[in-house]
Amino acid sequence: MLFANPTARRLSARLFGLVIAFVALAPLHSGAQSLPPEVDAALARAKVPRESVTMLVADAEGARPPRLAWRSQAQVNPASIMKLVTTYAALDLLGPAFVWTTPVYVDGPARNGVLEGNLYIRGQGDPKLVIERLWLLLRRVQAMGIQSIDGDIVLDRSAFDVADTDPSAFDGEGLRPYNAAPDALLINFKSVVMTFVPNRATQTAQVSYEPALAGVTMQPTVPLSAGECNDWRASLGADFNDPARIGFTGSFPAACGEKVWPVAYSNPRSYAARAVGGLWIEMGGRIKGVVRDGRVPAELRPVFEVASPPLAEVIRDINKYSNNVMAQQLFLTLGLQQKRRGSLETARATVRQWWNDRIGTGEGQPVIDNGSGLSRDERITAAELAKMLQIAWRSPLMPELISSLPASGVDGTLRKRGLRGGGAAHLKTGTLRDAAGVAGYVHAASGRRYVVIAIANHANAVAARPAFDALVDWAAQD
């Protein structure tokens, strides 16, 4: 419509400008208020009510109103999706090149291959001090001319101020590695990896263990059995209750071929000492004293230190494979680095302050417990999570965050969940007994990028995965 009157033209231009400003500032709870039919149908099949889900599809740049916003202001338990907050906060506060160091000290001279004193190892929260990297640390000790230690190996775990917890307390699955608790000197996720290799000639399966734990007897073989490879773990009749012994009362089905079974060690408090002691002896080292917990004397200076992979690499493990204990290590590290104390209280305060500074102080503040999502108490709204993901998209750290997320149909927890139509997705998944969801970025067939969030809190939440996939496909087919 054309306006001949100049005053009318100015009013029209002003109104047009106000409309554009309103669109740019539109809150994330606006937009479509009904679910796509294919999503609705999938929820019905899963017996998950619409009122138990929150869903949001919004422009990654934040330049347009959302395509879909369903209960986006409801606070929900995000399960492992909370790792997105922890990892992006860490990238922003620490930088993608941040590394953890593990310093090593001695308090005496080394003569003729013998250390006349103690060897100290100080843990500072490294989330990825796996057995291969522990071997390299001890190999550097031997390269200093130390083959025998007259004193003790002392492990300093004081950097984190966390209480011992029962690994079975969360869900009764204390032997699952995902329930391992954080530790300033976290070695190999406090787990033992058992590999079973059948030998038909001897009718046994050879069992190898990594790492070898000092003072723990480990059964070297189990009998083979006939039949199909169904619940092979149950057929082994494993006994993990005795910290001094790992054994089996059953058999291993020959049809299984080679199998790997990681389990959390039954006495996690003693794991680090047993792992260090066992590996030192396995490498030909000798020790007159013991491996024990203790503090590094204040006057000592490191003889060397080993560095972790950079943060950008560590968060790939955290997000792609949803590693809970690594996420908690990172969370506590935020408290240690920003508040000089690695506790849950300082970590929560650090992330809360970061959120207020970078994301905002409005409604929908996340409730953060341990930063991993392995919690019944953590809460966030889809609207606030989307706001964070939009800020991350526009930040220089966007490539590092997105590359840490599982790629649909390619790797991580989305390896078997590809898109049906065109486009691609990088999404963090989350699953608990009564919470499940996905959140991240979708590259639509049109070339547009969207933030997509879908979370269910319901007894049948896990059954809602097809509805999440349908929403991602709907977003991707734009």
**pLDDT given at position 313:** 98
Statement: residue 291 has pLDDT above 70: yes
What's the rounded Cα separation, in Å, for the pair 313 and 309?
Answer: 6
Long-range pairs of 233-239 with CB within 8 A, sequence gap ≥ 24: 233/261, 238/263
**Amino acid in the structure at residue 353:** Q
**Domain boundaries 101-165+270-307, corresponding CATH code:** 3.50.80.20
For 268-285, write each residue's pLDDT tens digit: 999 999 999 999 999 999
| pLDDT reading at 430 higher than 90 | yes
Q: Is the pLDDT of residue 397 over 80?
A: yes
| Angle of the 83-94 helix axis to the 382-393 helix axis, nearest 10 | 40
SS3 content of the chain, % helix, strand, coil (to 5): 35, 25, 40
How many residues comprise the chain?
478
Whose structure tokens read 């306006």?
Answer: 3
> Would you say residue 28 has pLDDT above 80?
no
How does residue 7 score in pLDDT terms, banded at 50, 70 and 90? very low
Per the model's pLDDT, the better-predicted residue between 234 and 24 turns out to be: 234
The pair of three-digit structure tokens given for residue 430, joined into one six-digit string? 């989350």
| Cβ contact 203:224 at 8 Å | yes
Reported as a pLDDT band with limits 50, 70 and 90, residue 135 is very high
- Domain residue limits, the chain: 26-97+311-476, 101-165+270-307, 177-269
Q: Which residues contact 454 (CB under 8 A, 6 or more apart)?
A: 53, 54, 55, 56, 437, 438, 439, 467, 468, 471, 472
Angle between helices 324-339 and 311-320 (to 10 degrees): 140
Place of tokens 């309103």: 22
Residue 22, pLDDT above cutoff 90: no
What digits encode the pLDDT tens for the residues 323-344? 999 999 999 999 999 999 999 9
> What is the per-residue pLDDT for 421?
62
Instruction: Write down the pLDDT at residue 422.
Output: 61
What type of residue is 230?
N
Higher pLDDT, 436 or 26: 436
Q: How far apart are the first and last CA of the chain?
A: 31
pLDDT at 15 over 50: no
Mean pLDDT, rounded, for 246-265: 96
Contacts of residues 345-349 at CB distance under 8 Å and 24 or more positions apart, as own/partner, are 347/371
**pLDDT recorded at residue 10:** 47
pLDDT bin (cut points 50, 70, 90) of residue 299 is very high
The encoded tokens of residue 305 equal 């230190």
What's the CA gap between 439 and 380, in Å, rounded?
Answer: 12
26-97+311-476 CATH choice from 3.30.70.3040, 3.40.710.10, 1.10.3720.10, 3.10.105.10: 3.40.710.10
30 pLDDT more than 50: no
CA 447 vs CA 31, 362, 451, 476: distances in Å: 21, 32, 13, 9
Token pair 């329930």: residue: 179
Cis peptide before 36 (omega within 30 of 0): no
> How high does pLDDT run on average in the chain?
92
- Output the CA–CA distances (angstroms, integers) from residue 461 to 42, 48, 91, 366, 375, in the order listed: 12, 7, 30, 21, 16
* Predicted pLDDT at 284: 97
Contacts of 46 (CB under 8 A, 6+ apart): 460, 463, 464, 466, 467
